[in-house]
A and B are shown apart, each in its own frame.
Chain A
């Protein structure tokens, strides 16, 4: 930005082949002064000159030395990832020999000795755990694993810029069929990989149109309305009282009416900051899509009709009108704000998913909290379960070197089969992983989902993976934010939902 700052076009114009007569009194004056100055300089400061030269020279030398030291101390400077430094060098060599020795190294997972792993993680809430797990793996096997976590909402941006680099992620994730479509050229064939064989169900393998496995789901999650049982009791209700949208509305509005007396609100803030808006533009928006797909008997579409948008409006209205803050302030409310409100007992309900368990369990015991389905007044509400599914499919970068691919496959497999790996994923990250070797997760929301299924409730599947693009979600998010604040109308939301769906699909086809 600063670069343009000193473009002084007096000179440019003099030199460019555009002839405009110019008069520059200041410039002339100035250069005369300058000339006088340096002639004086020369007379009086003959000694000075030498000094300046030596200072400049020594400055240059010091910099050169610093640069030298810098590159030598490069590895220690990288501190936490010295292994990956060495690995990068090793792989550079390995990369050079990769083509020559491709046939030898063609057996993936046979030996991961040479390769390295670079995992671009999607889940910021599990960043620390991934770093630990990666360090454990490196300690155990000596294979360098680097985990970089993209900022919330920046996964696609980071993936795009990282994939363009020569040292690209070897392991990344796509969110489902739509995501796969964009990255299909870069997804390694996982059909025969060990990790695919370990899946509990073939449904968790993400296949392309030819039936080739390109991605593997690594976590099954549920979301719904997390409920503080104690507060609900204080308000005079139990979760048994909420079995439909009408029940939920009645309870929520009753709590709002007695807000001052009770000292808490019904819903935690429906934050529309980018750290939080996915709860509504993606997760909540899944419900109208799900019910439409159910009604039409389809599992994807290029033209959504928006049959259940009124239900979407009802639940969203309920959220924003019975919450801890004025709807106008929602645009700046973050994920932290909502979580803190729930943790501080300022709200009974909090729409989020099983991934929140680890942060909520620090304050609440398993008996204090539970998760109820998001009722929107559509379908058979008596049989509605939590929203359960996945948008997290691991892919291996097909463009990586053979060694790196082998190392990545080995690492993935280790995560879901080894004791350390399964334990970390289940306990520390609170994940339910769809593998036969999985450790039971202590996650109370996951248990709730299992109980629901056992009781004959039907989980709501995750259809938001068929949303046309990130762009579509963002536009919907903006429209929702504006609607909540009263600066936009519901018609804008409708248009962002229905019209934009078709537009984005047509753009994807370009």
Chain B
């Protein structure tokens, strides 16, 4: 019985595939064209240009690997990398720990849960540029009232400010994902553990956290890549001041590209972008492997 139905299914499936396949100009082509214009071609061209010297694309000369060897020339790239790496680690930890904590507390069924959830999520909808200026005004106000140097000449405050800003923006989003994860943990399981005399702490560490591991994977991945690729907030909050000390990689590349005049810089900027892209890929893969392994063990 079963094999017969199965093969019938396969037949229908194949038939459908055949009839759908003919319609590729309708289904596939529009996206493919736009994708080529908006991503594929610029990407391939970008890689090619990282080996060239150019100011506008009308005058391009091939220079081989020399752009890559010049990445370190203005030594801002290394600093930007260090700053970005530090920021990424700090913000990933801060956001995920806080978001998870709030999610745990908000699933206890306390009064006003919905209002709290609404408010915590809200900043996420505000754009990076706007957020940056809001916090610049606020933080400069605080710093000046405390008699400390303002953001524009205070690298540490710039770092802390970016961290607070990112936290403010992203905690709500991650919290929502964690809440969904926690709500999926079966109450029976927790009840069973309670009957067995598990403490709340044990329930949290032995049941809840392992059960929401997939959410943790997603959230760490999102915060990690968002922090690493941060641009708008960096541009508007500190603009890289003081003296590029709070400049992150994305802004550094933009700066090399558009703020420095001279034909040599565009190629170097493009080479930096390629390196940046490779870094993002490597980090994403490492992170996934790491949290995935934990998930399996759990």
Of the candidates B181, B230, B261, B289, the one whose C-beta lies within 8 Å of that of A156 is B261
- In contact, B153 and A487 (Cβ under 8 angstroms): yes
- In contact, B226 and A4 (Cβ under 8 angstroms): yes
Of the candidates A4, A25, A329, A470, the one whose C-beta lies within 8 Å of that of B229 is A4
Residues in B whose Cβ lies below 8 Å from that of A262 = none
Residues in B whose Cβ lies below 8 Å from that of A185 = 55, 59
B19 within 8 A of A: no
Residues in A whose Cβ lies below 8 Å from that of B57 = 164
- In contact, B226 and A163 (Cβ under 8 angstroms): no
Least CB distance, A457 to chain B, in whole angstroms: 35
Main secondary structure of the interface of A (DSSP, over half): helix
Residues in A whose Cβ lies below 8 Å from that of B222 = 4-5, 7
CB contact list, A455-509 vs B, under 8 A: 469-471, 474-475, 478-479, 481-482, 485-488, 507-508
> Are A481 and B295 also in contact (CB < 8 A) when A4-B222, A471-B260 are?
no
Q: Which of A16-24, A90-98, A293-301, A367-375 contacts B (4 or more CB under 8 A)?
A: A16-24
Residues in B whose Cβ lies below 8 Å from that of A12 = 288
CA distance A27 to B180 in the complex (A): 12
CA distance A20 to B297 in the complex (A): 12
Residues in A whose Cβ lies below 8 Å from that of B259 = 156-157, 160, 470-471
CA distance A179 to B261 in the complex (A): 8
Instruction: Name the residue of chain A whose CB is nearest to the CB of B155.
Output: A487
Residues in B whose Cβ lies below 8 Å from that of A21 = 296
CA distance A370 to B253 in the complex (A): 45
CB-defined interface of A172-188 with B at 8 Å, one 1/0 digit per residue? 00000001011101100
- In contact, B258 and A485 (Cβ under 8 angstroms): no
CA distance A25 to B185 in the complex (A): 10
Of the candidates B73, B214, B243, B263, the one whose C-beta lies within 8 Å of that of A479 is B243
Residues in B whose Cβ lies below 8 Å from that of A274 = 239
Least CB distance, A189 to chain B, in whole angstroms: 17
- In contact, A22 and B147 (Cβ under 8 angstroms): no
A10 within 8 A of B: yes
CB contact list, B130-177 vs A, under 8 A: 140, 144, 147, 149-154, 173
- In contact, A482 and B229 (Cβ under 8 angstroms): no
Of the candidates B70, B229, B288, the one whose C-beta lies within 8 Å of that of A510 is B70
CB contact list, A351-405 vs B, under 8 A: 399
Least CB distance, A494 to chain B, in whole angstroms: 14
B46 within 8 A of A: no
CA distance A215 to B128 in the complex (A): 40
Residues in B whose Cβ lies below 8 Å from that of A140 = none
> Are A25 and B184 also in contact (CB < 8 A) when A1-B226, A331-B150, A478-B153 are?
yes
Of the candidates B59, B140, B181, B243, the one whose C-beta lies within 8 Å of that of A482 is B243
CA distance A55 to B26 in the complex (A): 21
Of the candidates B140, B225, B261, B295, the one whose C-beta lies within 8 Å of that of A22 is B295
A210 within 8 A of B: no
Residues in A whose Cβ lies below 8 Å from that of B149 = 328, 331, 485-487
Residues in A whose Cβ lies below 8 Å from that of B214 = 10, 24-27
CA distance A488 to B296 in the complex (A): 51
A127 within 8 A of B: no
Instruction: Name the residue of chain A whose CB is nearest to the CB of B222.
Output: A5
Of the candidates A13, A26, A488, the one whose C-beta lies within 8 Å of that of B184 is A26
Residues in A whose Cβ lies below 8 Å from that of B241 = 478, 481
Beyond A1-B232, A29-B184, A159-B261, list 4 extra A-B contacts (CB 8 Å).
A182-B261, A328-B144, A332-B152, A507-B73
User: Mind listing 17 A-B residue pairs with CB under 8 Å?
Assistant: A1-B128, A5-B173, A9-B221, A9-B288, A20-B296, A21-B296, A26-B215, A27-B214, A156-B260, A186-B55, A329-B144, A331-B150, A332-B150, A478-B242, A487-B153, A508-B262, A510-B264
Q: 6 closest Cβ contacts across the A-B interface?
A: A478-B243, A182-B261, A331-B152, A157-B258, A4-B225, A485-B149
